[in-house]
């Protein structure tokens, strides 16, 4: 399936159903389809676009979906850019993607201008939070206004021959938690497999479904990640609603209000997001009865957090998911609600994915042994874009080697043990930080913790625990080490504890261990 057809289908059968919501603004499927058609016609008018790439630099917004579907209708691919990127990084991404057209939110226009001085883009289009998505301020020469572009082109579907499901849908830069970002090319076929599988596994309902109202998902993670895109596309595919927060940064209070106001049925965020939501003092005062699928993941999930979520939302299904950009989203493994007693396992594979846990020779590990997760399936890419070295390292014999360590029990449930590169060796012993982190998370005064190994002349490597406290709570290093004593083996207890206000994270919500390790090794203060 080519995704250019999805919105048009719903516009034909359910034109007045709400597709997108942001604050007091919304788009029906008819409006989304017509505006996406205008985007497509505007892109086509700028010159050859079939098979080319359109770069998109923006936080979550109604226009994000319009531009994605508009580019697809024009036969183009979309290269979303992290809106937190520096000017130098933006230039690198645009050059690497060979982008010819850039659509940018006005909040990030200043960051783009240096790149425009050295790159020859055919067209730069700016949108904002002004009336109907137009920019609120005068634009520099050579930059067009988004709403003016739409007004100048028709709302009819353009004729673009030979659109195919093998066409590239996205060029995505991975989060780069273990080094420089890599890029993956995900096709329309892969996105279809991913979104269809997710909608099937979680029972996402649209207006076609006769068993109750259509579902609604709340976007809390940036749409330049395929994991977030999975939630939007899986809901739009069946005609369900996607709700976007009014500000780009996470706000637990706004999240709670949106859940109640928009009757949110499906919600995903990372561990810290759920911790902030659960910490709101008036959580129980809000009507959250519509919540059906509450999902967390992108990093190892402590059992204590899952238990807190189940207690706060007793009627909802709490699921732990595992996925990667290389699998076109988050549909790889998840712990089904009925298997809750297996938490914090990430469960078993989604319907159309094969998953194994293997040793360094590629053999399946025995029950309880630590190995590396490898995956293959309809939505898994086969290479890194223009990166043969990384491709050779990670894609072997038809399997993608994730770099994530895990164990398998006798029923086939997979439990994450940490990143392969996070394991450290101290005094000849392999130490997996996740075990220690989960223990620290259970302390009532600790909000979150990260454990990593740093070089040591005597031991080879020693553990350092980076700890963030709950509000108005304090501990000393000796208190943390004493708490671990007896709960984990003595050789696993870190040699040092560093206290911080908040643990640094990548843009996908994962703990930025590479950054932490560099700062600890170089003596740069973390606080």
The pLDDT of residue 179 is above 50: no
- At 464-491, the pLDDT tens digits run 999 999 989 999 999 999 999 988 888 8
Per-residue burial over 2-35, b if 16 or more Cβ lie within 10 Å, else e, is bbbebbbebbeebeebbbbbbeeebbbbbbbbbb
Distance (Å, whole) CA 321 – CA 334: 4
The reported pLDDT for the residue numbered 278 is: 93
- At 134-149, the pLDDT tens digits run 566 789 989 999 999 9
The reported pLDDT for the residue numbered 178 is: 43
Mean pLDDT of 499-506: 88
The pLDDT of residue 177 is above 50: no
Mean pLDDT of 415-421: 80
Contact 271, 277 (CB under 8 A): no
Selection from 125, 151, 158 nearest residue 4 by Cα: 158
pLDDT band at 376 (very low <50, low <70, confident <90, very high): very high
The pLDDT of residue 366 is above 80: yes
The reported pLDDT for the residue numbered 176 is: 46
Top CATH class of 424-522 equals alpha beta
The reported pLDDT for the residue numbered 171 is: 96
The pLDDT of residue 458 is above 70: yes
- Whether the bond into 344 is cis, omega within 30 of 0: yes
- At 89-99, the pLDDT tens digits run 899 899 999 99
Q: How many CB atoms are located within 10 Å of the residue 411 CB?
A: 10
Average pLDDT, the chain: 89
Mean pLDDT of 256-282: 92
493: exposed, middle or buried (Cβ count in 10 Å: 0-12, 13-18, 19+): buried
- At 309-364, the pLDDT tens digits run 999 999 999 988 888 889 887 777 887 777 777 877 888 999 889 999 999 899 99
The CATH number of the structural domain formed by 23-163 is: 3.40.50.980
- At 50-87, the pLDDT tens digits run 999 999 999 999 999 999 999 999 999 999 998 988 88
The pLDDT of residue 131 is above 90: no
Give percent of the chain above pLDDT 70: 95
- The torsion of the CA quartet 243, 246, 248, 249, rounded to 10 degrees, works out to -100
Q: Name the token pair of 496.
A: 């040092």
Q: So where are the chain's domains?
A: 23-163, 189-418, 424-522
The reported pLDDT for the residue numbered 298 is: 63
Place of tokens 């049925």: 265
Distance (Å, whole) CA 399 – CA 218: 33
Q: Classify domain 189-418 at the CATH topology level.
A: Rossmann fold (3.40.50)
Q: Do domains 189-418 and 424-522 have the same CATH topology?
A: no
The reported pLDDT for the residue numbered 130 is: 59
Mean pLDDT of 236-244: 95
3-state DSSP assignment of residue 38:
helix
Mean pLDDT of 30-46: 97
The pLDDT of residue 302 is above 90: no
- At 381-393, the pLDDT tens digits run 999 999 998 899 8
Q: Which residue has the higher pLDDT, 513 or 414?
A: 414
């Amino acid at each position: 399936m080519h995704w250019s057809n999805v919105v048009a289908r719903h516009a034909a059968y359910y034109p007045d159903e709400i597709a997108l919501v942001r604050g007091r603004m919304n788009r029906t499927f008819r409006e989304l389809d017509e505006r996406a058609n205008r985007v497509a016609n505007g892109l086509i008018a700028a010159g050859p676009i079939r098979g080319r790439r359109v770069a998109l630099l923006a936080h979550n917004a109604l226009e994000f979906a319009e531009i994605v579907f508009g580019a697809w209708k024009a036969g183009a691919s979309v290269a979303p850019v992290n809106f937190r990127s520096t000017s130098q990084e933006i230039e690198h991404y645009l050059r690497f993607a060979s982008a010819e057209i850039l659509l940018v939110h006005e909040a990030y226009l200043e960051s783009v201008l240096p790149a425009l001085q050295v790159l020859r883009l055919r067209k730069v289009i700016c949108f904002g939070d002004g009336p109907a998505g137009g920019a609120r301020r005068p634009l520099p020469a050579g930059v067009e206004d988004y709403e003016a572009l739409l007004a100048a082109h028709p709302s009819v579907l353009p004729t673009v021959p030979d659109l195919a499901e093998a066409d590239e849908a996205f060029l995505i830069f991975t989060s780069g938690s273990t080094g420089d970002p890599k890029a993956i090319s995900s096709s329309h076929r892969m996105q279809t497999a991913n979104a269809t599988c997710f909608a099937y596994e979680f029972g996402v309902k649209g207006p076609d479904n006769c068993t109750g109202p259509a579902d609604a998902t709340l976007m809390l993670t940036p749409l330049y990640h395929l994991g977030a895109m999975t939630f939007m596309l899986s809901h739009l595919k069946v005609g369900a609603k996607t709700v976007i927060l009014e500000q780009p940064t996470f706000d637990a209070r706004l999240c709670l209000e949106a859940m109640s106001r928009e009757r949110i049925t499906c919600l995903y965020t990372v561990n810290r997001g759920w911790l902030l939501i659960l910490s709101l003092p008036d959580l129980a005062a809000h009507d959250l009865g519509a919540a059906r699928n509450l999902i967390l993941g992108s990093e190892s999930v402590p059992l204590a957090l899952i238990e807190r979520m189940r207690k706060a939302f007793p009627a909802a299904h709490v699921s732990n998911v595992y996925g990667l950009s290389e699998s076109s989203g988050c549909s790889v493994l998840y712990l089904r609600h009925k298997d809750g007693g297996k938490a914090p396992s990430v469960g078993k594979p989604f319907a159309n994915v094969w998953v194994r846990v293997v040793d360094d020779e590629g053999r399946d590990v025995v029950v309880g042994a630590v190995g590396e997760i490898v995956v293959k399936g309809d939505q898994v890419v086969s290479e890194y874009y223009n990166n043969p070295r990384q491709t050779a390292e990670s894609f072997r014999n038809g399997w993608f080697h994730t770099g994530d360590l895990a164990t398998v029990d006798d029923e086939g449930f997979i439990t994450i043990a940490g990143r392969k590169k996070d394991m450290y060796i101290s005094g000849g012993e392999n130490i997996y930080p996740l075990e220690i982190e989960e223990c620290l998370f259970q302390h009532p005064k600790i909000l979150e913790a990260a454990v990593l190994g740093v070089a040591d002349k005597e031991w080879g490597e020693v553990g350092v625990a980076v700890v963030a406290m709950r509000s108005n709570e304090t501990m000393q290093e000796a208190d943390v080490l004493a708490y671990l004593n007896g709960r984990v083996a003595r050789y696993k207890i870190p040699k040092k504890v560093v206290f911080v206000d908040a643990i640094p994270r990548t843009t996908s919500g994962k703990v930025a261990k590479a950054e932490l390790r560099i700062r600890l090794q170089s003596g740069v203060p973390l606080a």
